[in-house]
């Protein structure tokens, strides 16, 4: 079969791209390795930048997000038991974030694509990409019942995440990957409890980082800095709660609200960027091209800003036959990616205890935190990066 744009991967990047193209009359096929149930159940981060919130709304997908998400107008930095609130709205001229889980975004996108007859193919196997340098690239895959299928397209977009096949289809000498690994990981857990706080709390205690986030009035999400080699079984419920209590303790006796823990995962932390984000008629978007550590929750937002740019470029191509935006895509996307990398790295380094840090590094970290508690300029820099640097209009 033939389509205009073949999209590999039904994560936030692939699904949003398919939806934005559909809204402008451009056909696509989305090929996803996992089942619909699996992609709708995968637990990931849950903070939408202002630009992602606006994108969801402009794309007609904002209804449930506005009803069920939580608008957060600030966040709390808790260092050594003392709180400093960062007021996003005041510091950024009215911008804020929405706490709305990534899998809810996925559900909204899948529902919208299927309701408008979108071609989403789940549980495909052995996807391979061909003739990327020609103007008639194609994708092969094994369908649900095993027979080999071919999708011919004008363009292929690799939205298949960090372990996908798209990036690997490009000769390594045509790409450059820059990577940084952090000497710590996060233990993430979900528990049945009421919210402990109206706003997220990013805390640094003597022995490391803790984060209080939320999913709903009944389910809470919390994270702890851990050894990246830890297994979830290394963390008994008691150990989790006592570590959270210690790292989050304030001088006036604040305690997290406890409840039954029903999910535990260990998350590794790395920064990685692959350049360029294009090879012939193949474009990369989202985690297929870059990964950020979770502090600051930029992963989903970067995936969304990539496909927003790419959809504009593809729309221009089909409307005016102009390739200028397609040619500019990689460089334009990478500028934002690197700004987000810098911010994610900075926030991560600021709020974690690095094993092996020397006295000088520890003192620098203290000084950085001290500056943040005293300087409005430093708080503004945090706030504007956290809510996301402004993006242009969705369509001309």
| DSSP state letter for 2 | B
- Rounded CA gap, 26 and 23, in Å? 8
Contact 343, 385 (CB under 8 A): yes
228-235: long-range contacts, CB 8 A cutoff, minimum separation 24: 228/182, 228/183, 228/184, 228/185, 228/266, 228/268, 228/269, 229/185, 230/185, 230/187, 230/266, 231/266, 232/187, 232/264, 232/265, 232/266, 235/187, 235/189, 235/264
202 tagged catalytic: yes
Q: How far is the CB of 286 from ligand APR (least distance, A)?
A: 2
Binding status of residue 299 toward ligand PHB by CB under 6 A: no
Tell me the closest approach of the beta carbon of residue 38 to ligand APR, in angstroms. Answer: 8
Using CB under 6 A as the binding rule, whether residue 203 contacts ligand PHB is answered as no
Is there binding between residue 97 and ligand PHB (CB under 6 A)? no
Least separation in angstroms between residue 239's CB and ligand APR is 26
Distance between CA atoms of 125 and 127, rounded to whole angstroms? 6
Picked from ligand PHB, ligand APR, none, the partner binding residue 295 (CB below 5 to 8 A depending on kind) is ligand PHB
169 interacts with ligand PHB by CB under 6 A: no
Burial of 298 (0-12, 13-18, 19+ CB in 10 A): buried
Residue of 19, 279, 290, 298 marked catalytic: 298
DSSP states of 91-116 as a string? Answer: HHTS--EEE--HHHHHHHHHHHHHHT
CB of 209 to ligand APR, least distance (A): 18
Q: Active-site residue 72, yes or no?
A: yes
Does the annotation count 141 as an active-site position? no
Is 295 a binding residue for ligand PHB by CB under 6 A? The answer is yes
Range in contact with ligand PHB (rule: CB under 6 A) among 9-17, 260-268, 277-285, 289-297? 289-297
Q: How far is the CB of 49 from ligand APR (least distance, A)?
A: 12
Residue 153 in the binding site for ligand APR (CB under 6 A): no
User: Which of ligand APR, ligand PHB, none is residue 213 near (CB under 5 to 8 Å by kind)?
Assistant: ligand PHB
CB 62 within 8 A of CB 53: yes
Is 19 part of the annotated catalytic residue set? no
53 touching ligand PHB, by CB under 6 A: no
Q: Residue 54: name its binding partner from ligand PHB, ligand APR, none (Cβ under 5 to 8 Å by kind).
A: none
Active-site annotation holds for 363: no
Please, what sign has the CA dihedral across residues 9, 12, 17, 18? Answer: positive
Indicate whether 221 belongs to the interface with ligand PHB (CB under 6 A): yes
Judged by CB under 6 A, which stretch of 33-41, 75-83, 212-220, 376-384 contacts ligand APR? 33-41
Q: Which two tokens stand for residue 162?
A: 């960090």
Q: How far apart are CA 232 and CA 224, in angstroms?
A: 12
Taking the C-alpha atoms of residue 201 and residue 65, their distance in angstroms, rounded to an integer, is 22
Binding to ligand APR (CB under 6 A) within 225-254 occurs at: none
Least distance to ligand PHB from the beta carbon of 27, Å?
34
> Rounded to an integer, what distance in angstroms lies between the CA atom of residue 221 and that of residue 112?
27
In the complex, the residues that contact ligand APR under the rule CB under 6 A are 8-14, 31-34, 39, 44-45, 102, 124, 127, 159-161, 163-165, 286-288, 299-300, 303
The set of catalytic residues is: 72, 202, 294, 298, 386
Residues that bind ligand PHB (CB under 6 A): 45-47, 200, 211, 213, 221, 294-297
């Amino acid at each position: 079969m033939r389509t205009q744009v073949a999209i590999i991967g039904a994560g936030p990047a692939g699904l949003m791209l398919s939806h934005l193209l559909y809204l402008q009359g451009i056909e696509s096929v989305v090929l996803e390795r996992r089942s619909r149930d699996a992609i709708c159940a995968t637990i990931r981060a849950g903070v939408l930048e202002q630009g992602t919130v606006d994108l969801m709304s402009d794309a007609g997908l904002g209804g449930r997000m506005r009803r069920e998400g939580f608008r957060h107008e600030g966040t709390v930095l808790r260092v050594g038991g003392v709180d400093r609130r960062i007021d996003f709205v005041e510091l950024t001229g009215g911008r804020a974030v929405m706490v709305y889980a990534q899998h809810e975004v996925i559900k909204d996108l899948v529902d919208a694509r299927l309701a408008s007859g979108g071609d989403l193919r789940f549980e495909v196997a052995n996807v391979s990409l061909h003739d990327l340098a020609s103007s008639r690239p194609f994708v092969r895959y094994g369908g649900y019942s095993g027979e080999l299928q071919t999708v011919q397209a004008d363009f292929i977009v690799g939205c298949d995440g960090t372990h996908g096949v798209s990036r690997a289809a490009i000769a390594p000498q045509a790409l450059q990957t820059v990577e940084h690994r952090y000497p710590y990981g996060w233990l993430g857990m979900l528990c049945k409890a009421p919210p402990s706080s109206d706003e997220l709390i990013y805390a640094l205690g003597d022995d490391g980082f803790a984060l209080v986030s939320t999913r709903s009035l009944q389910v809470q999400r919390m994270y702890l800095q851990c050894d990246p080699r830890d297994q979830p079984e290394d963390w008994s419920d008691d150990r989790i709660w006592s570590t959270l209590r210690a790292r989050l303790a304030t001088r006036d006796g604040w305690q997290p609200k406890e409840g039954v823990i029903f999910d535990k995962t260990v998350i590794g932390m790395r920064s990685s960027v692959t350049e360029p984000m294009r090879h012939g008629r193949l474009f990369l978007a989202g985690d297929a091209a870059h990964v950020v550590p979770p502090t600051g929750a930029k992963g989903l937002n970067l995936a969304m800003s990539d496909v927003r740019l790419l959809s504009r470029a593809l729309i221009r191509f089909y409307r005016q036959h102009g390739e200028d935006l397609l040619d500019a895509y990689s460089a334009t996307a990478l500028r934002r990616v690197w700004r987000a990398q810098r911010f994610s790295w900075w926030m991560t380094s600021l709020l974690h205890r690095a094993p092996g840090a020397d006295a000088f590094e520890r003192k620098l970290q203290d000084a950085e935190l001290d500056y943040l508690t005293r300087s409005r300029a430093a708080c503004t820099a945090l706030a504007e990066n956290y809510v996301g640097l402004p993006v242009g209009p969705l369509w001309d």
